[in-house]
Chain A
Amino acid sequence: MKFIQKIFDDLHPGFEKGGKYEKFYPLYEGVRTLVFAPSITTDSKGVQVRDAIDTKRMMMTVIIAMIPCLLFGMWNVGYQHYIATGVEATFLDMILLGALKVVPIIVVSYTVGLAIEFAICVIRQHPVNEGYLVTGMLIPLVLPASIPLWQVAIATAFAVIIGKEAFGGTGMNILNVALTARAFLYFAYPSQISGDVWTYFGDQAPVDGFSGATVLAYGASAAANGTDMMADMAGHWYDGMFSFWNMFIGTIPGSIGETSTLMCLIGAAILIATGIGSWKIIFSVFAGGYLMGLLFNLIGGNSFLEMPAHYHLVSGGLAFGAVFMASDPVTASQTELGKWIYGFMIGVLTVLIRVVNPAYPEGIMLAILFMNVFAPLIDYYIVEANKKRRLTRATI
């Protein structure tokens, strides 16, 4: 420990004011504070002691909550590959293949994102913020394994520069950064992120009768063709693929980290137990989605509208979005009542977009981005109500 401290101490003069690398001080500080929690003490006035938490630990807690989704996602990439190509494979094969596809995406996301963050810190001379630690992991998890790496790089750059830094950096952004990256890809390169992209093939051919469609794609086509969605799904080439249980566990095609509702719920449990994620938002997204599903069941009309409401909760990215995206404290509503409204509306809009607008089968991304924009408005009215209470109190 002394030895590492000495390395930093030897480097220190170069980064100080007037030193050769003065401009890169934020970088030096960023690295040093990652290795050692800093030796800063409280001011002589104000609190003399501080809580042991800091933003690094807070962000790491979120990353830890994502690990179940990540590991399951890696395995599932391999699993989907081997069943789609009809090759027998062991558990290890599946994990290895998944890792081979997923790790490069993570590396690209972190490298590009952190490089931009560091560059901006050096330009603006402000300390390195930890927000990207979470974003860098979220971006890979909401992409298909088959995504070209250069697209990951471009999307990351777009999201960090336009989605975050243009607004003033961590804590100031209006839109969720990872979803900005995904939305960018969705509209700029739709052919790599919609349609039959969810299963990775490599150079192998799919088995006879293969279809890579997701539940939501089944729904959209059933609604368009007037067929029975549940019957279509039951006739899937791989027996039992879209049973409710299968979808809950997550052994279905989809973005890397989003398929398993179970893993998302484990993540939710971690976030809620540690107090980092708002249970109000997470719960109300599920509630909104379910109630909207029920409402559509009542209305009926086609088989997608009549899909059992609980299927909405386990299909697509609803669970992942609810747990890891909607609960992002920077872009969510910041008042407690607002969190209920915000989450509920995300759930409602997700199902509305899914079912009513066949052009965008994945509703959660757009629903969250939409509500990100509205979160400040929700807060505004709630805070105004607080001010009004104070005013009426004064006149009594």
Chain B
Amino acid sequence: MSKTIKLKKGFDINLVGKPQEKIIESKQPETYAIKPTDFVGISRPKLLVKEGDSVKAGSPVLFDKFTEQVKYCAPVSGKVVEIKRGEKRKLLEVKILADKSVEYVKHKKYSTSDISKLSKEDAFEQMSAGGVWPNVIQRPYGIVADPESEPKAIFISAFDTHPLAPNTAFILQDQGAHFQAGLDILKKFTSGKIHLNIKGGDEVAQIFSQAKGVEINKFMGPHPSGNVGTQIHHLDPINKGDIAWTVSPYGVAQIGKLFTEGIYDASKIVALTGSQVTDPAYVKTYSGANAGNLLDGHLKSGPSRIISGNVLTGEAVGKEGFLGFYDQQFTVIPEGDYEELLGWILPSTNKLSFHKAFGLLGFLNPKKEYVVDTNTHGEERAFVMSGAFEKVMPMDIYPTFLFKAIMAEDYDEMEGLGIYELVEEDVALCEFIDVSKHPLQTILRSGLNLLKES
């Protein structure tokens, strides 16, 4: 039975710099990178290439020692120009200088009827060798799925409610057949359902409304209604011992294309967003694109922060950095490294706040789009407010108690309070509104790591 779920709790962060729905010309980046740090759960990345090697799009570049079958592949063809390591020789980036035209590693092609006859084992083999397996995320923990596991269901959120998020249907234009093929492949991995969750109240794009073999659910309400974690909680929550998989719509289409076209296609329509972008819109590029190249000519002057992803869950990568494997947008906002005279008390209508504390007058104009910089507006303090996190958390979970349990490293308490239902993005809004400025996403991950290793 498909469901319609209306959520009231949450908060939409309304920023300047929403992407216009058009694809603009942009210089194609010279370099692309695979970053093992994008993939949660890779503990021992092993390289399959060295500097100077030539690779094709879809050539395996690295794998994790603990799941050797799953290969992480090059997004474009070209030459490996740098292998960047950090402290303790931690592998950070494998940079590839792209060829003028992309050459692909060829895999076996399947027709629609062949796909339906394909066994789970054969499907996995092509997915893992072909570089699309990392699209499959396993909950709890939000890690790249363990091929040995069987999920009770697979969840796909077909809309993104993050600040300045791209329109999911727009970035999947002309991918309808691939998307359906991807769904058919994924269906082989679970005896449960595939939940495709769309935004209620809106016109639904054909690619989703015509999807077959899935259960279509509608979600309404402010962010985080588009987060797959919120959706799982209301459809079929994760209990201790349960395993669920999540895949992004882009990931589904990429999986599908590996079977219908026989290639690992890492091309992406990426949104350039944020108040520091001159003409926020979409560009065509590839996964792992260099930020500086791609944004060249689209930036306003002044100190800016370039973020791969959105302002809640993204990562500041800088001009030298690269688009993350799972990211569909760059966000560019002003840096906030300035002192503000009596900034903690002066009234203002230009400051974005979920709260309505004295002087924060934004609530007078709820439709306003804000320019928000990276200033933290205050320092880290002890937890002093209660009841605020609950207002942005549309789940039956007590966030403050959970965070305190994690800080105290109380395993039973963490489990009991529902940590298995959460990954970073599910608590990002709590982190944003936190009066005491705690790094809640980092705290959550440290708790998940404790449980995973226990």
Which residues of A are interface residues toward B (Cβ below 8 A)?
A: 1, 4-5, 33-58, 60-61, 64, 127, 129-131, 169-172, 273-276, 278, 329-330, 332, 334-336, 339, 379, 383, 386-387, 389-391, 393-394
- B416 contacts chain A at the CB level, 8 A cutoff: yes
Known interface pairs A37-B340, A54-B379, A130-B381. Does A49 touch B432 (Cβ–Cβ under 8 Å)?
A: yes
Q: Is B385's CB under 8 angstroms from A41's CB?
A: no
Cross-interface CB contact of A52 among B314, B337, B353, B385, cutoff 8 Å: B353
Q: Is B315's CB under 8 angstroms from A45's CB?
A: yes
- Please indicate the chain A residues that have their CB under 8 angstroms from the CB of B307 in the complex: 48
Cross-interface CB contact of B357 among A40, A53, A383, cutoff 8 Å: A53
Q: Is A329's CB under 8 angstroms from B386's CB?
A: yes
Cross-interface CB contact of B241 among A64, A274, A334, A394, cutoff 8 Å: A394
- Tell me, rounded to whole Å, the shortest Cβ–Cβ distance linking B227 to chain A: 14
- Please indicate the chain A residues that have their CB under 8 angstroms from the CB of B435 in the complex: 51, 53-55, 58
Q: Is A36's CB under 8 angstroms from B341's CB?
A: yes
B contact patch SS: loop
CB within 8 Å of A: which B271-287 residues: none
A54-B377, A171-B381 given; name 16 further pairs at CB < 8 Å.
A36-B341, A37-B375, A41-B336, A42-B376, A48-B331, A49-B312, A49-B333, A52-B352, A53-B353, A54-B344, A170-B381, A170-B382, A278-B387, A329-B385, A330-B384, A393-B237
**Which 6 pairs across A and B sit closest by C-beta, in order of nearness?**
A54-B378, A37-B343, A171-B382, A394-B239, A52-B351, A36-B339
- B23 contacts chain A at the CB level, 8 A cutoff: no
Q: Is B355's CB under 8 angstroms from A275's CB?
A: yes
- Tell me, rounded to whole Å, the shortest Cβ–Cβ distance linking A210 to chain B: 41
- Please indicate the chain A residues that have their CB under 8 angstroms from the CB of B135 in the complex: none
Q: Is B341's CB under 8 angstroms from A276's CB?
A: no
The distance in angstroms between the C-alpha atoms of A44 and B86, with both chains bound, is 16
- Please indicate the chain A residues that have their CB under 8 angstroms from the CB of B352 in the complex: 49, 51-52
The distance in angstroms between the C-alpha atoms of A143 and B439, with both chains bound, is 40
Q: Is B355's CB under 8 angstroms from A49's CB?
A: no
Known interface pairs A48-B374, A129-B382, A273-B356. Does A383 touch B387 (Cβ–Cβ under 8 Å)?
A: no
The winner among B352, B378, B388 for most chain A CB atoms within 10 A is: B378
Q: Is A58's CB under 8 angstroms from B339's CB?
A: no
- Tell me, rounded to whole Å, the shortest Cβ–Cβ distance linking B140 to chain A: 13
CB within 8 Å of A: which B370-412 residues: 372-379, 381-388, 390, 396-398, 400-401
Instruction: Indicate with 1 or 0, residue by residue over B403-441, a CB within 8 angstroms of chain A CB atoms.
Output: 000000000000011100000100010011111110111
Q: Is A47's CB under 8 angstroms from B428's CB?
A: yes
Q: Is B376's CB under 8 angstroms from A55's CB?
A: no
Q: Is B311's CB under 8 angstroms from A38's CB?
A: no
- Please indicate the chain A residues that have their CB under 8 angstroms from the CB of B384 in the complex: 55, 58, 131, 170-171, 329-330
Q: Is B375's CB under 8 angstroms from A39's CB?
A: yes
- Tell me, rounded to whole Å, the shortest Cβ–Cβ distance linking A134 to chain B: 10
Q: Is B335's CB under 8 angstroms from A41's CB?
A: yes
The distance in angstroms between the C-alpha atoms of A56 and B376, with both chains bound, is 13
- Tell me, rounded to whole Å, the shortest Cβ–Cβ distance linking B342 to chain A: 7
Cross-interface CB contact of A169 among B241, B313, B344, B382, cutoff 8 Å: B382
The distance in angstroms between the C-alpha atoms of A5 and B340, with both chains bound, is 10
- B354 contacts chain A at the CB level, 8 A cutoff: yes
A-B contact pairs, 8 of them (CB 8 A): A39-B338, A48-B374, A57-B344, A60-B345, A278-B386, A334-B387, A336-B390, A383-B417
The distance in angstroms between the C-alpha atoms of A366 and B401, with both chains bound, is 27
The distance in angstroms between the C-alpha atoms of A297 and B13, with both chains bound, is 52
